[in-house]
Structure 1
Amino acid sequence: MDTLIQLNKQTAGRDKLARLCQYLSRFLWYNLQNKQKFLNNNAINNLKSLEYQLSTFRKLLRWGRCLDVVYSTLPILNYPLDSRRFVDVLTKLSQAFYFLTDHILWLGRADLCQVDTHKWNQISNRYWLYTITLNLVKNFIEINNLFKLHSCQSLIYQIFLGTFSRNSFKNDVSWCNAQTLVLIQRHKALIADLIKNLCDLFIPLTTLGYYNLSPGFVGLLGVISSIAGLFILIDSTVKFIP
């Protein structure tokens, strides 16, 4: 209960909780809709309406976030000029544009102005896809750096040089597996962020028509990524900082 109260105190926490309920609603209405014995259309329509209302609520919670993201880009400009800085700046700018399009969509949903919701929803998902892709690039840069420090190069060299025996190969494989487990345990933040980004990746890909996943599967991916996001908020040591 203390954890729930702590999450509810934060805007990000309320957003993640609403997101979890939003995608859980999608998962439930799709599975109920596909059950031939389930004939209660009111329950399905209520879940669809709940999903829509939670989506609108989350857009309102994020109102003004585009300015926050742009402002948070300024300190990055002082970092050393390398590929990581370039990716960080692109990620922030893409995220700012994503939030901006989200604000426009909310104005349309609130009937405050005339908005082509289909057009702006596509633009919003495109910027969301860019942001997720760039986040994944940062994840893989970090993973690559970790494996440079803790790699299994000795095993790879032995395989290609053919200088290993069966027993030494088994020992090296066991050592590599142990090292991988240690890396996962020490870098939970990176793993949680990677899982979240991989699950999120297929949501805009499906909306934009690049993949043809069912609403139920998209809902399941959204639930998993929302749980990962909540896990990051609950445990500050799991927050990924490249």
Structure 2
Amino acid sequence: MPIDALSAAQRTIHLSDPVLRFCLTLAHINRVLYLLCDHMLWIRAAGVAPNVDAQRWAHRSHRHFLVSSLLSVLRDAYEISLLVGREPRDCWVGDEDERRPDKHHWKSASPARKACVWLSFAVRVLHANPPLLLDTVKNLCDLVIPLERLGMLRVSRGCVGTCGLVSSLLSLIQLCHPDYILKP
């Protein structure tokens, strides 16, 4: 419902973290706009307003869904980055494990090597934080749908359907188990 998304935007506008405040508030506002566009499409389909330009409203709907999904993925990436940054520094530069660079070689490590180490910590963080994992996968699946509808991504209808199904199932899990909802 647009009212629920609007009240969520009102709650997130007061968050102290500026990145979370920006991402979550704008994601909720775009969700409101997406739902309003979707309602216009429903009104046309119901025959109440047959002169509504369905193609234009569908395009607007997909754009707002895309922006909302992008901001949600950005928020997840930010959360992952914060948690990876909290990993003990000896994990980043320990010399007892040959897979990790030692203190002297970390500064000279290639960007690809640093990215691999960061990615391994991100996987560990996601494994240890099921709400963040579920939210990230759900938002990445949601991202595929508007990208395909707007012609920015070429995937099969089966892929779009699978992404929609996975997103819906993860949302149901979060609905049935509120402890899997990412907060704030």
| Normalised TM-score (structure 1) | 0.61
Of 89, 92, 113, the residue aligned with 1:153 is 92
Name the counterpart of 2:149: 207
Deviation for aligned residue 1:68 = 2.8
Per the alignment, do residues 99 and 179 of structure 1 end up closer, same or farther by CA in structure 2, a change over 3 Å counting? closer
Per the alignment, do residues 230 and 75 of structure 1 end up closer, same or farther by CA in structure 2, a change over 3 Å counting? closer
Structure 1 segments unaligned to the other structure (5+ residues): 1-64, 163-172
Name the counterpart of 2:63: 126
Task: Report how many aligned residue pairs link the two structures.
Answer: 165
Secondary structure of the residue aligned to 2:12 is helix
Following superposition of structure 1 onto structure 2, how do residues 1-242 of structure 1 map, counting pairs within 5 Å?
A: 65-80=1-16, 82-113=18-49, 114-150=51-87, 152-155=91-94, 157-158=101-102, 161=105, 180-181=123-124, 183-242=125-184
Does the 8 Å contact 1:150/1:179 carry over to 2? no
CA RMSD in angstroms, aligned pairs only: 2.5
Secondary structure of the residue aligned to 2:47 is coil
- Aligned partner letter, 1:67: I
Per the alignment, do residues 160 and 102 of structure 1 end up closer, same or farther by CA in structure 2, a change over 3 Å counting? farther
Structure 2 segments unaligned to the other structure (5+ residues): 95-99, 107-116
Per the alignment, do residues 81 and 140 of structure 1 end up closer, same or farther by CA in structure 2, a change over 3 Å counting? closer
Per the alignment, do residues 180 and 137 of structure 1 end up closer, same or farther by CA in structure 2, a change over 3 Å counting? closer
Per the alignment, do residues 159 and 212 of structure 1 end up closer, same or farther by CA in structure 2, a change over 3 Å counting? farther
Does the 8 Å contact 1:94/1:128 carry over to 2? yes
Map Cα deviations across residues 121-150 of structure 1 (whole Å, 9 max, x no partner).
111011000000000011011000110112
Does the 8 Å contact 1:199/1:222 carry over to 2? yes
Deviation for aligned residue 1:69 = 1.9
The structure that has the greater radius of gyration is 1
Secondary structure of the residue aligned to 1:79 is coil
| Normalised TM-score (structure 2) | 0.79
Secondary structure of the residue aligned to 1:90 is helix
- Higher share in helix: 1
Per the alignment, do residues 231 and 116 of structure 1 end up closer, same or farther by CA in structure 2, a change over 3 Å counting? same
CA distance in 1, matches of 2:152, 2:35: 22
CA distance in 2, matches of 1:116, 1:208: 17
Does the 8 Å contact 2:9/2:28 carry over to 1? yes
Does the 8 Å contact 2:81/2:122 carry over to 1? no
Deviation for aligned residue 1:196 = 0.8
CA distance in 2, matches of 1:217, 1:179: 25
Identity of paired residues, percent?
28
